[in-house]
Structure 1
């Protein structure tokens, strides 16, 4: 399914995106309500995930507007840190199909999305390329293990890595990385991105020896690619 996610917290965005991409869904991310509403008029979405607290609106108002004014008929999963019964009832009355409280759990999120999708007639999509078992993302603690060894990453390096791991095989532009990881839009120098990516490639050994290679795409950005494992001697050559 093509899923639109309205969530202003960048870490939560990356987490939700990673879960959905792993399950084989296509994901579009939005931080503001007006961006999502505009996108639903211009693109085709099968499913929406909407957070309650937003910088420019109330998530419940967004749900109500989509249902009452934009004629949105697809499934909507409402997410929030609140677990109060009144809040759940209000979200459902406004037009949400299901409610999920934070902190989100990957298996439950995917299961809820799949269940709502089945009710709407969508079949299970083909899974995205799998991450080699050598790499383990510890989503709650925000670190990554390579061959069982924890790698010391800064918070920004972890967010950058999580984005690459969630989009294996996809080209990610430098501008997109700046927007999602640094929160910067517009014509800004991308030298900072290149420096962080180079450091991340070295720390996580993303040179093919463990089945993943983080490759630069000339004048575009980066792509995480699966490959046959490469020995250290081959890498040196």
Structure 2
């Protein structure tokens, strides 16, 4: 992958690049946020690694801006000296795909980057299709626009909600554990509460009508996770009545 590393401390930046060079990644280091933003206009990156404390910007605010103002869709690994759960959740809510706390463990760094790389590969394979085949006609997925339509209307989804919905709709009938969904959609291994998954599942049921009213039902499987299933014609009719 082509990875941009924004870290103002040269020793830390060199350390990160040394750890990742052995994995065969193409790397570019930046000291200031304005240098990274300029590079983004000229180069294509698969992933950005962003430190929280920067001399000319706040890494948290930069991450939010990249998502909401610049429309950057690539992966972001956020680095912070804080280990507070509130700060971690705040970073994820502002658009980070994963986080690492300092001091950086080289094995954990390479493992997290590899996990995010698998997500990128899965996303690329998914985007090769214009539609997800086999879903009921009430639904339409527009991969290029990252949108989902239900009953002729475009549904307002966050990036995470969209990713979660597409994963479930591409694997109808397959049971997913909360831990698996956390890793695939958020890129983490149980570092934040699995209630995050439950909250997003609840929103998808409401927003996309995954209660059976449009032919799909998102079921909870006790102590296991979630499964999106086809509904019988009778069940869909009852929900629509």
TM-score by length of 2: 0.50
SS at match of 2:41: helix
For the residues of structure 2 that align with 1:24 and 1:110, how far apart are their CA atoms? 11
For the residues of structure 1 that align with 2:18 and 2:66, how far apart are their CA atoms? 25
User: Which residue is equivalent to 2:23?
Assistant: 23
Cα distance, 1:71 vs structure 2? 1.0
For the residues of structure 1 that align with 2:7 and 2:70, how far apart are their CA atoms? 20
Q: Which runs of 5+ in 2 are unaligned?
A: 123-241
How large is the Cα RMSD of the aligned pairs?
A: 1.3
For the residues of structure 2 that align with 1:17 and 1:58, how far apart are their CA atoms? 21
Cα distance, 1:69 vs structure 2? 1.2
Cα distance, 1:89 vs structure 2? 0.6
Give yes or no for the alignment of 1:33 onto 2:16.
Answer: no
User: Which residue is equivalent to 1:145?
Assistant: none
Give yes or no for the alignment of 1:86 onto 2:58.
Answer: no
Alignment of 1:186-197 (within 5 A): none
> Alpha-carbon deviations, 1:154-190, whole Å to 9, x = none?
xxxxxxxxxxxxxxxxxxxxxxxxxxxxxxxxxxxxx
Alignment of 1:1-237 (within 5 A): 1-121=1-121
TM-score by length of 1: 0.51
For the residues of structure 1 that align with 2:64 and 2:113, how far apart are their CA atoms? 20
User: Which residue is equivalent to 2:134?
Assistant: none
For the residues of structure 2 that align with 1:108 and 1:23, how far apart are their CA atoms? 13
> Alpha-carbon deviations, 1:40-74, whole Å to 9, x = none?
11101011000000000000111011101111111
Higher relative contact order structure (alpha carbons within 8 Å, sequence separation ≥ 6): 1
Cα distance, 1:38 vs structure 2? 1.2
SS at match of 1:99: strand
Q: Which runs of 5+ in 1 are unaligned?
A: 123-237
> Alpha-carbon deviations, 1:108-148, whole Å to 9, x = none?
000000101110117xxxxxxxxxxxxxxxxxxxxxxxxxx
For the residues of structure 2 that align with 1:104 and 1:24, how far apart are their CA atoms? 19
SS at match of 2:8: coil
SS at match of 1:120: helix
